[in-house]
């Protein structure tokens, strides 16, 4: 009887070790640091693949209900590929896991759009068309007519995740960013932040996304 109990205990212990090892392996698969990944997200019957900007190879993307939802929400009828900019991880086999989608756009310049490279935050709206970038040198505004010189600002990060940036010396410009998902009403493009631009007493609603510079 005691021999049977000892053998059962050994089996139970071995099973626990195997289960623990298996969980550790699954955890370690995505143990690499989070990365900013941008490119063309393609949908097929077998799932999504990502073709990163500047690369030729396609990387399989781990199944993700949120990714399915955003693709259905942002893609045009019949569209099977869309530009995506996300935070995620890549395992040793090159498979991508999406942690957070920063933007998903069927309109715009895709990989040719380098607006995020020199900005901490970018706010946009398609109609009326405008773009405001927040960077170390201040707020830079563009509209359908022209580009404006950067305006020095004072910025403030609030406890709820909101961010405000106000022009110095009553410059007449103020940008508010909110941690609320946003979909452009005209294009259907998705962004992970919402924006409000106050300009010379006028209020404009838009969407926003994180840039590649270190944010304040």
Q: Is the pLDDT of residue 19 over 60?
A: no
Q: Per-residue pLDDT for 25 more than 70?
A: no
Distance CA 187, CA 106 (A): 8
Domain range holding 81?
A: 35-105
Residues 81 and 141 in one domain: no
In a domain? residue 23:
no
CA angle 123, 41, 63 (to 5 degrees): 110
pTM for this predicted structure: 0.83
What's the CATH code of the domain at 52?
Answer: 2.40.50
pLDDT score recorded for residue 27: 52
pLDDT beyond 50 at 18: no
Structure tokens at 146: 């022209």
73, 154: one domain: no
Task: Indicate whether 44 and 66 sit together in one domain.
Answer: yes
In a domain? residue 97: yes
Instruction: Please report the pLDDT score of residue 5 as a whole number.
Output: 43
Higher per-residue pLDDT: 209 or 167: 209
Q: Please compute, for residue 179, the number of CA atoms within 13 A of its CA located in the half-sphere on the CB side.
A: 8
Q: Note the pLDDT tens digit of each residue in 35-80.
A: 999 999 999 888 999 999 999 899 999 999 999 999 999 999 999 9
> How would residue 145 be classed by pLDDT, with cut points 50, 70 and 90?
confident
Query: Buried b vs exposed e over 92-130: b needs ≥16 C-beta within 10 Å?
Result: eeebbbbeebbbbbbeeebeebebbeebbbbbbbbeeeb
Question: Which has the higher per-residue pLDDT, 90 or 2?
Answer: 90
pLDDT of residue 57: 92
Nearby residues of 90 by Cβ (< 8 Å), 6 or more positions away = 32, 35, 37, 59, 96, 97
Range 46-50, long-range pairs (CB < 8 A, 24+ positions): 50/84, 50/96
Tens digits of per-residue pLDDT, 162-185? 999 998 876 789 999 999 999 999
Evaluate whether residue 198 is within a structural domain. yes
The number of angstroms, rounded, from the C-alpha of 100 to the middle of its chain's C-alpha atoms is: 5
Q: What is the share, in percent, of the chain residues with pLDDT greater than 90?
A: 67
Is 18 domain-assigned? no
Contact 194, 184 (CB under 8 A): no
Q: Are 115 and 105 in contact, with CB atoms under 8 Å apart?
A: no
Number of domains in the chain: 2
Q: What is the mean pLDDT of the chain?
A: 86
- Checking if the pLDDT of 21 tops 70, the result is no
Rounded distance, CA 99 to CA 87, Å?
A: 6
Higher per-residue confidence, 46 vs 28? 46
- pLDDT given at position 215: 59
């Amino acid at each position: 009887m005691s021999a049977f109990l000892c053998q059962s205990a050994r089996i139970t212990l071995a099973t626990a070790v195997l289960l623990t090892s298996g969980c550790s392996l699954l955890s370690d698969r995505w143990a690499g640091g989070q990365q900013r990944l941008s490119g063309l997200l393609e949908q097929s019957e077998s799932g999504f693949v990502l073709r990163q900007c500047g690369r030729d190879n396609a990387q399989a993307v781990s199944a993700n209900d949120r990714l399915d939802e955003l693709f259905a929400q942002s893609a045009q009828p019949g569209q099977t590929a869309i530009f995506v900019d996300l935070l995620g991880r890549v395992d040793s086999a090159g498979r991508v896991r999406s942690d957070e989608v920063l933007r998903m756009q069927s309109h715009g310049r895709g990989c040719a759009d380098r607006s995020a490279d020199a900005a901490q935050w970018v706010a946009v709206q398609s109609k009326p068309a405008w773009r405001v970038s927040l960077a170390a040198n201040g707020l830079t505004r563009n509209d359908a007519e022209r580009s404006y010189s950067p305006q020095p600002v004072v910025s403030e990060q609030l406890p709820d995740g909101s961010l405000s940036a106000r022009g110095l010396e009553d410059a007449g410009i103020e940008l508010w960013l909110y941690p609320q998902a946003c979909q452009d009403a005209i294009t259907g493009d998705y962004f992970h932040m919402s924006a409000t631009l106050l300009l010379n007493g006028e209020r404009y609603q838009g969407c926003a996304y994180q840039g590649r510079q270190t944010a304040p």
